[in-house]
Structure 1
C-alpha cells in the first residue's frame, strides 16, 4: 500500500518498529511515509475519533477503532464516502505498479533500462 499523500511505496522493513504510520481516511486504512510525517498538519487530512478527536484510528474487519480511547464504529463503505473523502489519486489507484515492478526487476537482474 502506498503513502496516501505522496504515493511512495513502503520498502522491505528493517527489524524493529516501522517508521510508517497508519491512519484512516474515508473509512479506509492508509499509510503515511516518514517524509510526509515531517510535514506539519499531515494528520489533519485523516479521519478523527468522534469520541476523543484522536487521529490514531485503525480500520479492521469492517470497524474503525480508536487506538487512544477504544471507541469503535462501523466503517461506511459506499462510493459517495470514498469520493468525498478526498483520497489522492496516487493512493486510490496505487500508482503504476507494473512499471515500478519492471524497473525493479531490471535493476536486480542487471538489464539495461529502455
Structure 2
C-alpha cells in the first residue's frame, strides 16, 4: 500500500522496525511515509477520547493506540480494509501485471 499523501511505495526496511506509520483517514487504514510524517497537516482522523492520531482500523472498529479507546467504524463510510481512496483498482491491476510476469502469462 502506498503513502496516502504522496503515493510513495513502501520498501523493505534494512533492519528493525519500519519507519512508516499507520493511521486512519475517513475510516480507512492508511500508511504514511517518513517524509510525509514531517508534515503537520496530514488530516488524519483523531481519537474522540484523547485527540491522538495514533489510530488503527480493523474488523469494523477503530482503536486508539495511545489510550486504548475502541469504537465501531461508521457503517456509512468505506470499510477499514478498503485501502486508500482511488487506489484499489490501480493496485489490483499492478498486482495482476506482476503475477502475469512472474508466472509467464501473456495477455
2:57 pairs with one of 44, 56, 59? 59
- Residue segments in structure 1 that go unaligned for 5+ positions in a row: 83-90, 103-114
- Residue segments in structure 2 that go unaligned for 5+ positions in a row: 79-83, 98-107
CA distance in 2 between counterparts of 1:66 and 1:40 reads: 19
Using CA pairs under 8 Å that are at least 6 residues apart, name the structure with larger relative contact order, 1 or 2.
1
Q: Which residue of 2 aligns with 1:37?
A: 37
Q: Which residue of 2 aligns with 1:93?
A: 86
Q: CA RMSD in A?
A: 2.4
Q: Which residue of 2 aligns with 1:110?
A: none
> Residue 3 of structure 1 aligns to a residue in which SS?
coil
- Normalised to the residue count of structure 1, the TM-score between the two structures is 0.68
CA distance in 2 between counterparts of 1:57 and 1:99 reads: 28
Q: Which residue of 2 aligns with 1:86?
A: none
Q: Structure 1: which 4+ aligned runs deviate by more than 4 Å?
A: 95-102
Q: 1 or 2, which has the higher helix percentage? A: 1
- Normalised to the residue count of structure 2, the TM-score between the two structures is 0.72
Give CA-to-partner distance per residue, 1:58-86, whole Å, 9 cap, x none. Answer: 001111000111110001143xx45xxxx
